[in-house]
Amino acid sequence: MAYTITEKILLAHTDKKTIAPGEFIYAKIDLALGNDITAPIAIQEFEAIGAKKVFDRRKIALVPDHFTPAKDKKSAEQAKILKNFAKKHKILNYFEVGRVGVEHALLPEIGLVGPGDLIIGADSHTCTYGALGAFSTGIGSTDLAAGFITGCVWLKVPETIKFVYNGKLKHWVGGKDLILHTIGDIGVDGALYMAMEFTGETIKALSMDDRFAMCNMAIEAGGKSGIIEPDAITKKYIRSEGKTPNHSLHSGSGHAVKGVFYKSDEGAKYRKVIEYDVNKIEPQISAPHLPSNSGPVSKFKKVSIDQSVIGSCTNGRISDLRIAAGILKGRKVNSRVRLIIIPATQKIYSQAIKEGLADIFLNAGGVFSTPSCGPCLGGHLGILASGERAIATTNRNFRGRMGHPDSEVYLSNPAVAAASAIKGRIAHPEEVS
């Protein structure tokens, strides 16, 4: 029987002989993830049930990344719940301030997730790890509590939509633009409870950071998951980050590579196949108040901004900061604009300092923050007031997402966000480069 990559991963995590879309399965998990917003609820449920121990202290990750360093008493208490639970159950993968990063950048970086894994997380953007060839999906906090206890999760096997991207990307166009264009095409519910499989010659040439950005936003089209077939680029990333494997597959070179490298079979059944010619895709903007309100940057050049945010689990990686710094070097941020740079992990933070990127941002008139989700969810470090407008490399622009209900958020890639900070309005990078 021919299977998609998603179906193969799910089947491998059950005791079943066959599997089909729409079928409910009870699957073993490789990692259960919670953060400082969602994990406290899961922990409360865990204790209310009377559970005495977690299923595997090595396969739980607790990442207090949303409101840390604690912005107020309530956030401090939330983080404390994670810390106490980690101590009580000897959770190995608990990350205190100074070691923490934005969860969906941190976990791939330190090798906790890899190809062939089944990962659940009480955060909707857990779908990020599909970039590594994993099945990774967001769940509710009560489901996370059950995962902490049993090491399993109930799932309905999703149908898959195959997205085929062909052609060569234009300058200043990356994974963020591909996914914004895709969401604009199919809508915020266009892949509802489906696996979004990204493939084609364009994807095969795409960097890991761009792949992460694409899979990260699968949820913004209603997707259950996003996934890309692991390949040589995946293997190179895994080796370069110095992973500590949970399980290994030996490549032809004799080097152990973490994970199981699945791929879709010829003849696998898809709900539909959608093809794109990327030569036609310009840098994209998503206008308020939905990620699906996307279009080329040229349509938005009259939109003034008050703030530019470069960071998040979508575009806070080192390549994103390099792109932004390349635009900002030797230039100044518009005097009416606040530029906020948030590296996604401590490693990225350190690398940005070593490469002189932090100085570029500071000299341009921006601020360089410690790793945090910060303003992305309206948490801290850049909340918008009534009537203010931001451009951001984040993943959501719902009403009130970054602060006041009467504020606005426009989504973009890092180059556009940097160029816009300089011009004081939404701008194409070519306007300043």
Q: Quick: pLDDT tens for 88-101.
A: 999 999 999 999 99
Give the angle subtended at the CA of 15 by the CAs of 14 and 18, to the nearest 5°.
85
Task: Identify the CATH number of the domain in which residue 145 sits.
Answer: 3.30.499.10
Tell me how far apart the alpha carbons of residues 347 and 174 are, in angstroms, rounded to a whole number: 23
What pLDDT score was predicted for residue 433? 78
Number of structural domains in the chain: 2
Same domain flag for 211 and 291: no
Largest CA distance in the chain: 63
Same domain flag for 305 and 188: no
Q: How many CB atoms lie within 10 A of CB 250?
A: 9
Phi, psi for 364 (deg, rounded to 5)? -75, -15
Q: What is the Cα 22 distance to its own chain's centre? A: 26
Same domain flag for 343 and 386: yes
What's at 153, amino acid-wise? V
Domain-ending residue, one of 274, 301, 318:
274
| Contact between residue 27 and residue 155 where contact means Cβ atoms under 8 Å apart | yes
Domain-ending residue, one of 212, 239, 274:
274
Same domain flag for 335 and 232: no
Kindly report, residue by residue over 131-177, the tens digit of the pLDDT: 999 999 999 999 999 999 999 999 999 999 999 999 999 999 999 99
State the residue for tokens 């601020």. Answer: 367
Same domain flag for 270 and 290: no
Kindly report, residue by residue over 179-224, the tens digit of the pLDDT: 999 999 999 999 999 999 999 999 999 999 999 999 999 999 999 9
241 pLDDT tier (thresholds 50, 70, 90): low
pTM, whole model, 2 decimals? 0.94
What pLDDT score was predicted for residue 258? 60
Selection from 63, 195, 79 nearest residue 121 by Cα: 63
Could you give the 3-state DSSP secondary structure of residue 27? Answer: strand
Could you give the 3-state DSSP secondary structure of residue 360? Answer: helix
Domain-ending residue, one of 274, 293, 316:
274
Helix (H) or strand (E) holding 364: helix 357-364
Same domain flag for 268 and 338: no
- List Cβ neighbours of 190 (8 Å cut-off, separation of 6 or more): 183, 221, 222
* Mean pLDDT value across residues 367-393: 95
Same domain flag for 222 and 298: no
- 3-state DSSP helix/strand/coil percent for the chain, to nearest 5? 35, 20, 45
| Contact between residue 66 and residue 36 where contact means Cβ atoms under 8 Å apart | yes
Domain carrying residue 244: 5-274
String of DSSP letters for 98-109: TT---HHHHHHH
Same domain flag for 231 and 367: no
Same domain flag for 25 and 121: yes
Same domain flag for 356 and 308: yes
Phi, psi for 11 (deg, rounded to 5)? -60, -40
Same domain flag for 132 and 231: yes
According to DSSP, residue 381 is labeled S
| Contact between residue 103 and residue 35 where contact means Cβ atoms under 8 Å apart | yes
Residues present in the chain in total: 433
Same domain flag for 416 and 336: yes
Tell me how far apart the alpha carbons of residues 371 and 394 are, in angstroms, rounded to a whole number: 14
Q: Let me know how many helices (H) and strands (E) the chain has, helices first.
A: 14, 20
